[in-house]
Structure 1
Amino acid sequence: MAHIALYRAWRPQTFHDMVGQQHIVQTLQNAIREDRLSHAYLFSGPRGTGKTSAARLLAKAVNCERGPTPEPCNECEPCRRIAAGAVMDVVEIDAASNRGVEEIRDIRDKVKYSPTEVRRKVYIIDEVHMLTTEAFNALLKTLEEPPAHVMFMLATTEPHRLPPTIISRCQRFEFRRVSLEEQAEWLQGICRQEGIEAEEEALVYIARLSDGGMRDALSLLDQISSFSDGRVTLQGATEATGGLPAEQFSRLAAAVRDSNASAVLAEVDEMMRAGKSADKCLEQLMHYFRDLLLAQLAPAASASAGRVASPAELKGMAEGFPRERLFAIIDVLNRYQSEMKYAAHPQTMFEIALLKLCTDSNSADGSSSGAAASRATAGGGGAEVQQLQRQVAALERKLEELQRSGIAIPSEGDSSSGGRSGGGSAVRGGGNGWGGRGSSGAGSAPKAARQRIKLDPFVASRGSQLALQAMGKWPQVLARVKEERVTVHAWLVDGEPVAYADDTVLVAFRNSIHRETTEKPANKQVIEKALTAVMGHPTELATTLQKEWQEALAGGSQAQAGQPEELQLATEDGASPPSEPLVDEAYKLFGEELVVIRDE
């Protein structure tokens, strides 16, 4: 491949050629000058940042005929032969393909022999994290106390996969990604040396795609220069790498801004006909909106942003998007990018993501609040009225959500009567049977006491004939829920119906997660619809945990045995609940615990 030739031609030959790693170069050169070289080094960092190149340069520096020297001469026989890989005492191993214990044992057996061609024997192990546990154990002793004539240099992109015992025996150097400015400047110098005519915007684009790796940048430069016959332009770079031109980004962003779904679909169709991949287009579009956000928040960071479009064009486009909407757009694109990895039809996911951006244009608080503020300023005296109307509408929405979630909204009569009674009356709640029953006037009562009082009506009526009939219909309810929505049925089967009172079925769950999911308004609506159909009259759902229900049962038994005054509070007229002969006989035969037989 052509780009390999260019990379080999511009592979670092001296420490001076190590772009962006000056801190590492200075440390290694000082160690050579002061004769304080370590027996083992660990070079870690992203791919293409010079880890293996630094290891080769260090091998040349310690074996140079003029050295050890801080800068290899590249003219003597050892330097030239090490660069060509022809010295048997400088061994480079790829741990990805030689990861077994046998290869490491072979190294351990050979390190004791003195070098035959150069001053020091050097072992360079690339991608060292790929070694097996047994291989690391075999390397450990040799790495800790190697002979004086041996040096180990380990290179890896994933240092966290190395055993701590290996890391602790090496001097570790972290190679960083090369900055955008350093890469662009270095590529410009290479283009001058190679006689390649290149636009500055194209070199910045290449540097951005390389993600801080000089090796990837050189490969892209050679690929693009071959594509465009020695002249590197931004348009040619975009076409050669499968990117999108800035004009297409602008048209797509304008369509999203204007909520023009037809224009969005037309742009997507044009991208697909041009052979672009949906996931790559989505990724680049997310970067474009990120650049729009930077154009608003940090206009001076244009040099480090790696933008495809010109700063003036980005600034004009960014003015059409509120800041909050840009954050929302990036969040949506990022979410769909994650889902696209597992999608059978990525193009469909890409279209849905863009259509969602068009339909969600009014959901961003920034745009609506900005428009409202402008209308309030223009309206003068009517601004306060409009603000009050918005507040009232928001309160009404919250009130509806509370009612749907099952919290009782007391009327004036309820609030006054609630102040007289300490609890015990079974008050019908809005959508949750136990949430609005037996509310005590003291809002600061302990949590356990509130739960016992709320469950009192169910404890009192759990053995009634009506309750037993309702419990017997539970399998039919489960069947209807399963037909309506299987996912809700999967959560509901964890619960067990334990009581029935005031047209409300109480279901006890073993797991709080199952209970909370069942209580969601959409799921609860499905269940109550099935209950109403089976029972023949409007029926609601109430939920609790098995532990809370058992505590309520224990409290009810104590009240019957030695606390008659609490039992009187649980009824409106103070009288004991009437006994049922059938229920008493059932207690004698089966006990007090309710057993429900499910037909799976």
Structure 2
Amino acid sequence: MSHIALYRAWRPQTFGDTVGQQHIIQTLQNAIGEQRISHAYLFNGPRGTGKTTTAKVFAKAINCRQGPALEPCNQCEACTGITAGSIMDVVEIDAASNRGIDEIRDIRDKVRYAPSDVRYKVYIIDEVHMLTSEAFNALLKTLEEPPGHVVFILATTEPHKLPATIISRCQRFDFRQVTLEEQTGRLRQICAEEKMEASEEALAYIARLSDGGMRDAISLLEQVAAFSRGKITLEDALEVTGGIAAEQFAKLAEAIQERNVAAMLPLVEGLMQAGKSPDKCLENLVYYFRDLLLIKLVPGSSVATERIVDPERFRVMADAYERDRLFRMIDILHQYQVELKHAVQPQTLFEVALLKICTAPAAAGEEALAARPAEVSAPAGELARLERQVKQLEQKIEQLMRSGSGSGPPVTGISASPSSSQPTGRSAGFGSRGGTGVAIRSGVKLGPFIAGKGSEEFQQIRMQWNEVLQRVKEAGISIHAWLINGEPVSFSQDTVLIAFKNEIHRETTEKPANREVIERVLQSVLKREFRFSTIMVKEWLAATEDRPEEKPEPLMMNDGTDASSSRPEWVEEAVKLFGEELVVISED
């Protein structure tokens, strides 16, 4: 039996045969029993949920020779004629192909005539949202002043595209997706009547794949039945629909949970060689991790496990995952699922998606930990020892700064590494001047930076620093976590000087991979090529205190007097905020 024949054979002919829409059926039957039949109905809902079928059953019920009846008899001339489509007074129109104003005008001209064969003229307009604006205007006139013998039933999957004036003149019924239990029951009934043998796992899988549409479920059932030539099994259903078996899911999820890329790649290659579609595999993976998340968040709930064939196995896998990681993985897979629709190489994009969820940290805290140097990722005892050494180092630096001496006892602990983009020599003592500038422990020559810390270009960089941090955060949250602890203190030529309070933050920011990201963001925000150098805050303070900042020329009034001697307090605050170069004083 073909799909069309099978669907028609199992298309409900009475309200009692309808699956999953009992609340709507009860309302329509009450309206028929109380003789309160409306002139217009709007049936809205997903595809394959029974909108057009219910409309036809309703047309038979109100035109049945035994009624209007709560259930059509399906024996009289009216019922059989409507089922066969031979009653001219019950018209079904596809608005997708008859969407113009001429078709609606034709309806408007014919509704004035009384029905010839049955009690009511019924116009069923399917996909009504496809009508043009002019057609809607013509239909509106008919709905405003309908004859008493006419009933309009509008069916659509997108009610938001209908004008509000049309919706307000209809009784609206929202059809919902058919539950998995109801779908499985109907599929089981079809198999029994059609003498087809099917396993419960296969029926559950087909129902799940139809996404709440009974019509799609029947279509898939017939497709799998034609392939199996006997008993319908889960393996047959997976083979026909391109799905992934539970065993393959389990192996793939285990490899991802263990971040084992070497074990994951052969599994992906096996799926592709088996002819599995990348988009279908990705869709099934989203469902799989969604089910794991539901089991983790709502343990013991029947709603969470109604789609799952083997709940116990899923619970074991769910326990192996962290909740935050599942959220993050589903987000990543969903993003790639959207991109996969337009991908030139879908298999490659599918592999990249799996690699990303396999290697991505679960949360920001884990990501920051992964980005730390090896010595920070050491055991707790080693970490505590390193922190003590850092504190000792900071205390000794403070003592040297207070004494103003460049010599002293050797400093033990962690030594500061030089900037990766600057010379590494330490020929001068701490705080001493060289021929071209101030040489410090980090190897940065501070002469140009001390001279440029009050420049207009540096003020512009400070004003845009928050934007730089935001762009870095978008590029890599771990890099942002290190960079946010630094602050730009000066600028010279094409280099920004960033001062850090913590040596670990400074060293991590200087790593080549992190440096490349930061400098790329600087170039993007500041619209020119930029590099950056780093320094410790205490070193910068010592250097600037050792060499007084050159004061700019004082601001002068129009009469030639010094503006700073008589300017108000709020002007002084403005100068402190923006600098003498950017503040201009003029008299009104």
Superposition TM-score, scaled by structure 1 size? 0.66
Render the CA deviation track for 1:263-305: whole Å, top value 9, x for unaligned.
Answer: 2221111111111111111111121122222222223235554
Structure 2 partner of 1:565: 563
Structure 1 partner of 2:169: 169
Shift of 1:228: 1.4
Corresponding residue SS for 1:332: helix
Inter-CA distance 524–366: structure 2 relative to 1 (3 Å threshold)? closer
Inter-CA distance 430–286: structure 2 relative to 1 (3 Å threshold)? farther
Map 1:181-330; keep pairs closer than 5 Å: 181-301=181-301, 304-307=304-307, 310-330=310-330
Percent identity of equivalent pairs: 56
Structure 1 partner of 2:53: 53
Alignment match of 2:459 (pick from 430, 434, 437): 434
Inter-CA distance 73–40: structure 2 relative to 1 (3 Å threshold)? same
Query: Is the aligned partner of 1:6 residue 2:10?
Result: no
Structure 2 partner of 1:73: 73
Inter-CA distance 571–35: structure 2 relative to 1 (3 Å threshold)? closer
Structure that is richer in helix per residue:
1
Corresponding residue SS for 1:117: coil
Map 1:18-167; keep pairs closer than 5 Å: 18-167=18-167
Render the CA deviation track for 1:209-255: whole Å, top value 9, x for unaligned.
Answer: 11111111111112112221242221111111110111111111122
* Structure 2 spans left out of the alignment, 5+ residues: 370-378, 392-416, 418-430, 432-449, 466-489, 496-516, 535-552, 582-588
Provide the rounded CA distance (Å) in 2 between the counterparts of 1:266 and 1:431: 58
Provide the rounded CA distance (Å) in 2 between the counterparts of 1:291 and 1:531: 48
Name the amino acid aligned to 1:564.
D
After alignment, is 11-20 or 184-193 more displaced?
184-193
Structure 2 partner of 1:403: none
Provide the rounded CA distance (Å) in 2 between the counterparts of 1:11 and 1:433: 75
Alignment match of 2:492 (pick from 478, 483, 503): 503
Provide the rounded CA distance (Å) in 2 between the counterparts of 1:232 and 1:15: 30
Inter-CA distance 383–174: structure 2 relative to 1 (3 Å threshold)? farther
Shift of 1:18: 1.5
Provide the rounded CA distance (Å) in 2 between the counterparts of 1:430 and 1:557: 15
Provide the rounded CA distance (Å) in 1 between the counterparts of 2:180 and 2:225: 20
Provide the rounded CA distance (Å) in 1 between the counterparts of 2:384 and 2:367: 20
Structure 2 partner of 1:522: 520
Shift of 1:185: 2.1
Provide the rounded CA distance (Å) in 1 between the counterparts of 2:530 and 2:183: 70
- For the aligned residues, what is the CA RMSD? 4.1
Shift of 1:148: 1.2
Name the amino acid aligned to 2:283.
E
Aligned length: 445
C-alpha contact (below 8 Å) 1:295/1:302 kept by paired residues:
no
Provide the rounded CA distance (Å) in 1 between the counterparts of 2:75 and 2:115: 21
Name the amino acid aligned to 1:428.
K
Provide the rounded CA distance (Å) in 1 between the counterparts of 2:309 and 2:286: 14
C-alpha contact (below 8 Å) 2:197/2:230 kept by paired residues:
yes
* Structure 1 spans left out of the alignment, 5+ residues: 370-378, 393-399, 401-411, 413-424, 438-450, 455-500, 507-518, 540-555, 578-600
Shift of 1:360: 2.0
C-alpha contact (below 8 Å) 1:324/1:364 kept by paired residues:
no
Provide the rounded CA distance (Å) in 2 between the counterparts of 1:528 and 1:138: 58
C-alpha contact (below 8 Å) 2:452/2:491 kept by paired residues:
no
Inter-CA distance 15–559: structure 2 relative to 1 (3 Å threshold)? farther
Inter-CA distance 46–431: structure 2 relative to 1 (3 Å threshold)? farther
Shift of 1:561: 3.3
Corresponding residue SS for 1:147: coil
Provide the rounded CA distance (Å) in 1 between the counterparts of 2:114 and 2:16: 31
Shift of 1:503: 3.3
Provide the rounded CA distance (Å) in 1 between the counterparts of 2:521 and 2:158: 45
Superposition TM-score, scaled by structure 2 size? 0.67
Render the CA deviation track for 1:319-372: whole Å, top value 9, x for unaligned.
Answer: 222222222221221122122223211111111111222322476747999xxx
Provide the rounded CA distance (Å) in 1 between the counterparts of 2:287 and 2:364: 20
Provide the rounded CA distance (Å) in 2 between the counterparts of 1:162 and 1:329: 37
Corresponding residue SS for 2:105: helix
Name the amino acid aligned to 1:523.
V
C-alpha contact (below 8 Å) 1:324/1:365 kept by paired residues:
no
C-alpha contact (below 8 Å) 2:325/2:362 kept by paired residues:
no
Structure 1 partner of 2:355: 355
Inter-CA distance 559–330: structure 2 relative to 1 (3 Å threshold)? farther
Corresponding residue SS for 1:154: strand
Inter-CA distance 430–119: structure 2 relative to 1 (3 Å threshold)? same
C-alpha contact (below 8 Å) 1:63/1:79 kept by paired residues:
yes
Name the amino acid aligned to 1:211.
D
Provide the rounded CA distance (Å) in 2 between the counterparts of 1:527 and 1:114: 73
Structure 1 partner of 2:437: none
After alignment, is 259-268 or 131-140 more displaced?
259-268
Provide the rounded CA distance (Å) in 1 between the counterparts of 2:494 and 2:562: 26
C-alpha contact (below 8 Å) 2:522/2:529 kept by paired residues:
no
Corresponding residue SS for 1:20: coil
Corresponding residue SS for 1:330: helix
After alignment, is 45-54 or 330-339 more displaced?
330-339
Provide the rounded CA distance (Å) in 1 between the counterparts of 2:37 and 2:132: 28
Shift of 1:195: 2.4
